[in-house]
Amino acid sequence: MVGPGAIQPLTTRIAAAGARRMVVIADVAVAAGPAASVAAGLEASGAAVTTLTVPSGERSKSAAETVRLWEALAALPADRATHVVAVGGGVVGDLAGFVAATFVRGLPVWQVPTTLVAQVDSAIGGKTGINLAAGKNLVGAFWQPVGVACDSDTLASLPDREFRSGLAEVVKYGVILDAPLFSWLEAHAAEVLTRDPAALAHVVSRCVDIKARVVEEDEHERTGLRAVLNYGHTVGHALEALAGYGALLHGEAVAIGMAAAARLAAGTGRWTVDEVQRQNSLLARFGLPLTAPPGLEEPVVERALAVMARDKKSLHGRVRFILPTAIGRVELTDDVDSSLLEAVLRDVLLSVA
């Protein structure tokens, strides 16, 4: 369900699904707002509702927090007739989804994403998981939500930088699979930036539709189709690791990664300079960076290459890239000349301010 007020019909659906007990797992930042609305809607149906809050931030996607939530569920006690409702951004969605996937071998989970990143990306598709010291998202499960409510009203309180970070994923969808969405964003950037409810509902429903379609065709990331969603993420993930998680928001790193991929696409004769420019202008219009912040620890290019080779999506150590051939069309390739790659990385990672 997408649009202003979508929490309301979702709670009706959850209540009708026959749970004896419901557990709302919420980011503490939205506990008093959206999570309280969800709990109130569920209580109206007469069910037992418990709310468990999770501290804000990536560090909560941890084994320790997972165990804490498992123990809290066991203490209720939760059983297979318990439904979990995750309310928050991607951190809580991934964590609560993983807890739901694993507790008593699986509880039904519903997602109420409250960041733009979560509404257009993480709440859809069933990837759940937590981080280890050795890397992000190293432990997890595919666990599809029963239902998802992307309520645009919940985005009103989102800090500007978080909102813009989500727009990087939105631009990504346009570049990889939806030329009309891309053109629409160029024409309506102002309404998007002021979070006009109709504009947000349009954008989020387009993105949800694309993500759901891709995931339906390649749920477990086997055919390569789902990999197109990682456009901009090869360099983006490396940059997040190099800058230290948290220094750059995910969407900011992805925007820089898209700028890098665009140059690789142009440099290999796949994409026109005009369209590269259109992509980069739209990212800049949304206040997103195209080059890394200064001060990354040297040797940056070598370190980035090493992180990229370790990426769990690289195949036999060869880095795979998603490169555009036109706005709305991409291809997967591991055939990128290493001198071109190094030159692009140098430009993007070692920007001179």
Ligand X SMILES: NC(=O)c1ccc[n+]([C@@H]2O[C@H](COP(=O)([O-])OP(=O)(O)OC[C@H]3O[C@@H](n4cnc5c(N)ncnc54)[C@H](O)[C@@H]3O)[C@@H](O)[C@H]2O)c1
| Residue 154 engages ligand X in binding (rule: CB under 6 A) | yes
The residue within the footprint of ligand X, chosen from 12, 56, 291, 325 (CB under 6 A), is 56
Contact between residue 75 and residue 49 where contact means Cβ atoms under 8 Å apart: no
Instruction: Compare residues 61 and 263 and give the one whose CB is closer to ligand X.
Output: 61
Give how many residues touch ligand X by CB under 6 A: 28
Neighbours of 198 (CB within 10 A): 12
Handedness of CA 54, 60, 64, 67 (dihedral sign): positive
- Chain CA centroid to CA 200, Å: 16
- Interface segment toward ligand X; rule CB under 6 A; list 35-43, 153-161, 194-202, 235-243: 153-161
The residue within the footprint of ligand X, chosen from 65, 121, 178, 252 (CB under 6 A), is 121
Contact between residue 37 and residue 64 where contact means Cβ atoms under 8 Å apart: no
Contact between residue 266 and residue 276 where contact means Cβ atoms under 8 Å apart: yes
| 131 noted as active-site residue | no
The residue within the footprint of ligand X, chosen from 4, 5, 9, 57 (CB under 6 A), is 57
Contact between residue 95 and residue 66 where contact means Cβ atoms under 8 Å apart: yes
Place of tokens 């004769």: 269
The residue among 7, 68, 34, 207 whose CA lies nearest residue 125 is 207
How near is the Cβ of 125 to ligand X at its closest, in Å?
A: 5
Which of 230, 278, 280, 320 does the annotation list as catalytic?
230
Distance linking the first and last C-alpha atoms of the chain: 43
Under rule CB under 6 A, which residues in 14-43 are in contact with ligand X?
27, 29-30
Which of 169, 240, 252, 275 does the annotation list as catalytic?
169
- Interface segment toward ligand X; rule CB under 6 A; list 36-44, 109-117, 195-203, 340-348: 109-117
Q: Which two tokens stand for residue 63?
A: 């084994």
Place of tokens 């804490």: 68
| 211 noted as active-site residue | yes
| 127 noted as active-site residue | yes
Place of tokens 């990128």: 336
Under rule CB under 6 A, which residues in 268-307 are in contact with ligand X?
none
Q: What are phi and psi of 122, to 5 degrees?
A: -70, -25
How near is the Cβ of 267 to ligand X at its closest, in Å?
A: 28
Under rule CB under 6 A, which residues in 83-102 are in contact with ligand X?
88-92, 94
**Between 203 and 242, how does the x/- string for binding to ligand X read (CB under 6 A)?**
----------------------------------------
- Interface segment toward ligand X; rule CB under 6 A; list 157-165, 253-261, 294-302, 322-330: 157-165
User: Strand 135-142 relative to strand 109-113: parallel, antiparallel, unpaired?
Assistant: unpaired
| Residue 252 engages ligand X in binding (rule: CB under 6 A) | no
Instruction: Compare residues 18 and 55 and give the one whose CB is closer to ligand X.
Output: 55
Contact between residue 159 and residue 114 where contact means Cβ atoms under 8 Å apart: no
Contact between residue 231 and residue 324 where contact means Cβ atoms under 8 Å apart: yes
Residues that bind ligand X (CB under 6 A): 27, 29-30, 56-58, 61, 88-92, 94, 114-115, 117-118, 121-122, 125, 127, 136-137, 154, 157-158, 162, 250
* Catalytic residue ranges: 105, 127, 169, 211, 221, 226, 230, 233, 237, 250
